[in-house]
Amino acid sequence: MKRKMKSIVTTLYEKVLSENSKRLIEKLVFVTALAGFFLHLLGIGMQHLGWFGVSGSVTGFESPIDALYTPFSIILFYEVYCLIYYLPKSITIYIGKQFEIIALITIRGIFDELSKLSHTSDLEDIFASPDFLYSMVTILILFLLIYLFYLRNQKSIRVDKNSPGLPPGLPKKKKRYVTAKRVLALLLTILFVVMVLFNMVEWLFIDHSLLGFFQQTKMATETFFSDFFMVLILTDVLVLLFSFAINDDFPKVMRNSGFVVSTTLIKLSFNVEGVASHLLVVMAVLFGTLMLRLYKMYRRIELPDDKV
């Protein structure tokens, strides 16, 4: 029974989260993002020509810059897939993908602000917009912190690239840990698909028009990512418990606990607006980066043995 379950998990994993599946999804995302971009541009053109029968400006259809919102949303969903893909392979890359997602959400907000600013010719109005300036500073800090996060993890990244799959001679406990993470990744994939479908069905009940779809997209994606990061907090806690079951190594427990804190701060950033939201995001990535740095420092020293 146990062997059969293991075989089912392996088969499902290879079909959904293998390297070949990732390449296929990459191509699909590229085509979908391109189609979404041109479809949104077409909608903006139709709105300006008055084909929608709506007078005045319509949110999300005021400027060609608004069309960037759609492909960016699609890329964000692909980043979620990448996050799940790396969960069984590397916890640090999995956390790094969380940081990338919130960085992309922030830069997508910059495009939203740019579309609003493109309607004003007064420089004072442009520089008086705090959200735009906060977003610009935040994305620069995030980009730097994510660079430092991956820089501190170069050795592990190279090992993962050079030896894909489970290395031979892996201890039983470690194999169970990897299998548990694969099961968790598959469950997370199912939940992710269900959440996306639920959001789409909810939109269908609200508005069936093309105009309504693009207007609802912004609100729906923000709600989706807020809910999804709640799921990620629970996932991080489970990973922490799984890792503790095979190894009660203090530095690793601290590192994984720190990652839970980072994910929680990102989730909280969706509940507030303005400068508080930006501060929480920066704090989350900074905390995760410093925690990884301290963990690497700990690995270089000799620690006392708990055995008597």
Q: Which DSSP symbol is given to 304?
A: P
Distance linking the first and last C-alpha atoms of the chain: 40
pLDDT 10s digit of each residue in the chain, 308 long? 666 677 777 788 888 888 888 889 999 999 998 988 888 788 777 777 766 655 555 666 667 777 777 888 888 889 999 999 999 888 899 999 999 999 998 888 887 777 666 555 555 665 666 777 888 899 999 999 999 999 888 766 665 555 555 555 566 777 788 888 988 999 999 999 998 888 777 766 665 555 555 555 565 677 788 889 999 999 999 998 888 877 777 888 899 999 999 999 999 999 888 889 999 999 999 999 999 999 988 888 876 765 54
Question: How would you write 165-190 as a 3-class SS string?
Answer: CCCCCCCHHHHHHHHHHHHHHHHHHH
Cα separation of 292 and 256, whole Å? 9
Q: Would you mind telling me the total number of residues written for the chain in this entry? A: 308
Query: Residue 86 in contact with residue 132, Cβ under 8 Å?
Result: no
Q: What is the CA radius of gyration of the chain?
A: 22
